[in-house]
Amino acid sequence: MNHGFVKVAAAIPNVRVADCHYNIQEIEQFVIQAEKQGVEIISFPELCISGYSCQDLFQQKILLDEAETALAHLINVSRTLDVISIVGLPIAYRGSLLNCAAVIQKGKILGIIPKSYLPNYKEFYEKRWFTSGMDIPEGAVLLCGQQVPLGQHILFHASSYSFGVEICEDVWAPIPPSSVLSLMGADIIFNLSADNDVVGKYNYLKGLLTQQSSRCIAGYVFSGCGYGESTQDVVFGGKAFIIENGTLLAEAKRHSIEPQCIVAEMDVERLQIERRVNTTFSQNASLYRDKQVHIVEIEKVATKSLPTLSRNINPHPFVPEGEELDERCKDIIHIQTEGLAKRVQHSHSKSLVIGISGGLDSTLALLISVRTFDLLGLSRKDIVGITMPGFGTTDRTYTNAMNLMKQLGITIREIPIREACIQHFSDIGHDITKHDVTYENSQARERTQILMDVANQVNGLVVGTGDLSELALGWATYNGDHMSMYGVNAGVPKTLVRHLVSWIAQSMQDELTRSTLLDIVDTPISPELIPADEKGNITQKTEDLVGPYELHDFFLYYVLRFGFRPSKLYFLACQAFQSIYAADVIKKWLYTFYRRFFQQQFKRSCMPDGPKVGSCSLSPRGDWRMPSDANSTAWLSEVESL
């Protein structure tokens, strides 16, 4: 099972200008090696059979004949291979010479694509030899004894994906052929190029290709001429990229004099889902529904299993690395702060009320509240932090909660809930020694009632502390900590909350506040609703009960962003966490995730307002609208069958 992945390659072979026999031998070595690696499609540079820099030699009949003979040799080699090869060569057609790409598989030429845009400026003068594919009628050409479709609008269709081809300069046009091909159904675009090297061009080209891949919501495979081309006036350094919807999966080593081949798995299923979700794409595609396209069906071959992936699967998709993490934290904090500021001004609230537990989520909510009041020029004393010690509160979390509130200069209130809960247990006839869901949820609801009532006292707004991960799992007490007047953390997953608090801690000038925040970061995640052990340590650890948040956030990302089925999600998780969790552990928590995700939708259906900060959100008014009584049988059955 390949889970929607297509293994592709971009090769930069050795080349000798005008030596077609030598060039095809170099190409064939890459093709054979690609077959052994399970590659489905491999592409080569522009005019790779003849060499790009032949200049007026393109007008020599012997060169054209040698190129066709070399192509015939490759066709013969391909008869026993499944891999699809895309190579470049000059082809004479109806009195013109075309710069073409030939698509080959299992002894057949599937199609010929002529270059559309011929550069004829600065160091380029292709119009001296070639005719644009836009200036000739599309039809068929007799090549190597085969009648082959020739044209710009050819779509090669396999069982689960389609691809198209453009050549070098084509992608530099304001509306490239790849844009049209993508709107007509191409999931992957292959570009055969002879892009020369000049200072600054490399990064510009990479940006251009990345942007084009993003606009088309497509895979983009680029292979450029390398060492061996003529250096009479220009140098070809050899560039190759494999890009998936704007994400660079692989690139060749720059300025190498050795032949190269880069390989990566393209997640075509992900691209197709992205397009279905993006209604702008389908709306744009409607403009090209009447455009004629020639569909070439690719011979079905046995599905290649993918036991492992060469591409990196980030185990923490919500948490980027390096400078990107710094920018991500900065953006999220600004979004949360501006969202809360608008809510404060709109509601004419005089104060904010927050329950402070000494845990990560309430800490982040408090930090955002402080930043909000600073932004609005309001006094921090109008932020009321309430610590509500209960049966499970430990000295560590209590001390951190009190210290943080003091250090941030807000108003502190301590309202213990033990006696109120004991009275409540007596009122409803609950045995206080029975530490069940009633015992736990009564405490959560008591705390929420206190927050709401104090908010009424001070004309304030209750700031919610629950995060995106807790919403996904339903790890909140209905009408308890599930409820607030504005949930600032609603769009932030648990794995990112920790980084946000750490990031703010590092920016703190006050060493005591920084120390408190870092200790909160190191504290085990817990609702603290069950009494501590005899040493005063936390006994109720959330991740022991519902599973590791890093796994659940991984599941959540791919469920919300791409709607992957459980088998693919399991496959990806096993790749991402192979050195951390055993496969049976991943399966166990994947089952828990789906079970809770479906069961707990009723809590998300009436969740308070809160800002969306990233690509994933569970707001019933925005990104996620799901019936509270949807059936999970299909999802859970697939997990069980893994």
Least confident stretch, 212-226, 295-309, 457-471: 295-309
Residue 429, pLDDT > 90, answer yes
Structural contact between residues 446 and 453, judged by C-beta atoms closer than 8 angstroms? no
Distance, CA of 84 to CA of 52 (rounded, Å): 22
Is residue 144 part of the annotated active site? The answer reads no
Q: What is the mean pLDDT of residues 555-584?
A: 96
CA-CA-CA-CA torsion sign (282, 283, 285, 288): positive
- 526-552 b/e (C-beta count within 10 Å ≥ 16 → b): bbbbbebeeeeebebebbeebbbbbbb
Residue 293, pLDDT > 70, answer yes
The length of the chain is 642
Percent pLDDT > 90 in the chain is 84
Q: Where do we find the tokens 């993508």?
A: 182
Distances in Å between the Cα of 186 and the Cα atoms of 40, 165, 193, 272, 304 are 16, 9, 19, 10, 21
CA-CA-CA-CA torsion sign (437, 438, 439, 443): positive
Q: What is the pLDDT of residue 534?
A: 67
Distance, CA of 315 to CA of 282 (rounded, Å): 31
> What is the number of other CB atoms lying within 10 angstroms of the CB of residue 256?
13
Q: What is the pLDDT of residue 307?
A: 72
Sheet strand arrangement including 240-244: 247-251, 240-244, 219-224, 188-193, 162-167, 154-157, 294-297
Distance, CA of 283 to CA of 112 (rounded, Å): 29
Is residue 115 part of the annotated active site? The answer reads yes
For residue 227, the cross-strand partners are 229
Distances in Å between the Cα of 380 and the Cα atoms of 240, 370, 409, 410, 614 are 55, 6, 6, 5, 28
Q: Is 465 exposed, middle or buried (0-12, 13-18, 19+ CB in 10 A)?
A: buried
> What is the number of other CB atoms lying within 10 angstroms of the CB of residue 64?
19
CA nearest neighbour of 501 among 371, 380, 379, 378: 371
At residue 136, the 3 state secondary structure works out as coil
Structural contact between residues 353 and 454, judged by C-beta atoms closer than 8 angstroms? yes
Q: Helix (H) and strand (E) counts for the chain? A: 20, 20
- Go through the domains of the chain in sequence order and give each one's CATH number: 5-297 (3.60.110.10), 323-640 (3.40.50.620)
Q: What is the mean pLDDT of residues 416-425?
A: 96
Structural contact between residues 479 and 457, judged by C-beta atoms closer than 8 angstroms? no
Q: What angle, 0 to 180 degrees and rounded to 10, lies between the N-to-C axes of helices 566-576 and 549-562?
A: 130
Q: Catalytic one among 7, 115, 494, 587?
A: 115
Q: Catalytic one among 26, 35, 46, 550?
A: 46
Distances in Å between the Cα of 633 and the Cα atoms of 480, 599, 624 are 29, 12, 20
Residue 441, pLDDT > 90, answer yes
Distance, CA of 143 to CA of 262 (rounded, Å): 30
Higher pLDDT, 139 or 541: 139
The terminus-to-terminus CA distance of the chain in angstroms comes to 12
Least confident stretch, 241-245, 473-477, 533-537: 533-537
Q: What angle, 0 to 180 degrees and rounded to 10, lies between the N-to-C axes of helices 566-576 and 633-640?
A: 50
At residue 601, the 3 state secondary structure works out as helix
Distance, CA of 226 to CA of 461 (rounded, Å): 64
Is residue 26 part of the annotated active site? The answer reads no
Distances in Å between the Cα of 35 and the Cα atoms of 10, 31, 77, 387 are 13, 6, 12, 64
Residue 542, pLDDT > 90, answer no
DSSP state of 523: S
Confidence label for 523 from pLDDT (cuts 50, 70 and 90): confident
Confidence label for 123 from pLDDT (cuts 50, 70 and 90): confident
CA nearest neighbour of 597 among 623, 642, 560: 560
Amino acid at 202: Y
Q: Where do we find the tokens 């991500």?
A: 328
Q: Where do we find the tokens 């490239």?
A: 176
Q: Catalytic one among 20, 48, 168, 216?
A: 168
Structural contact between residues 90 and 47, judged by C-beta atoms closer than 8 angstroms? yes
Distance, CA of 383 to CA of 381 (rounded, Å): 5
Q: What is the mean pLDDT of residues 132-151?
A: 94
- 495-507 b/e (C-beta count within 10 Å ≥ 16 → b): bbbbbbbbbbbee
Confidence label for 287 from pLDDT (cuts 50, 70 and 90): confident
Q: What is the pLDDT of residue 508?
A: 76
Confidence label for 421 from pLDDT (cuts 50, 70 and 90): very high
- The structure tokens listed for 434 are 């029975």
Q: What is the pLDDT of residue 310?
A: 86
pTM given for the model = 0.90
Residue 316 phi/psi, 5-degree rounding, is: -125, 75
Residue 309, pLDDT > 70, answer yes
Structural contact between residues 611 and 336, judged by C-beta atoms closer than 8 angstroms? yes
Residue 536, pLDDT > 70, answer no
**Residues whose CB is less than 8 angstroms from the CB of residue 60 and which lie 6 or more positions away in sequence, other chains included:** none
Distance, CA of 144 to CA of 148 (rounded, Å): 9
Structural contact between residues 261 and 302, judged by C-beta atoms closer than 8 angstroms? no
- Average pLDDT across the chain, whole number: 93
At residue 402, the 3 state secondary structure works out as helix
- In this structure, the dihedral spanned by the alpha carbons of residues 609, 615, 616 and 621, taken in order and rounded to 10 degrees, is 40
The alpha carbon of residue 269 and the mean position of all alpha carbons in its chain are separated, in whole angstroms, by 13
Residue 363, Ramachandran bin (φ over 0: left; ψ between -120 and 50: alpha; else beta)? alpha
Helix (H) or strand (E) holding 501: helix 494-507
**Residues whose CB is less than 8 angstroms from the CB of residue 278 and which lie 6 or more positions away in sequence, other chains included:** 217
Upper half-sphere CA count for residue 381 (Cβ side, 13 Å): 1
Residue 159 phi/psi, 5-degree rounding, is: -65, -35
At residue 156, the 3 state secondary structure works out as strand
For residue 351, the cross-strand partners are 460
pLDDT digits over 81-122, tens only? 999 999 999 999 999 999 999 999 999 999 999 999 999 988
Distance, CA of 216 to CA of 225 (rounded, Å): 24
- The structure tokens listed for 401 are 């909660």
Higher pLDDT, 57 or 1: 57
Percent pLDDT > 70 in the chain is 97
Helix (H) or strand (E) holding 451: helix 437-457
Distance, CA of 489 to CA of 497 (rounded, Å): 8
Distance, CA of 597 to CA of 560 (rounded, Å): 11
Q: What is the pLDDT of residue 531?
A: 73
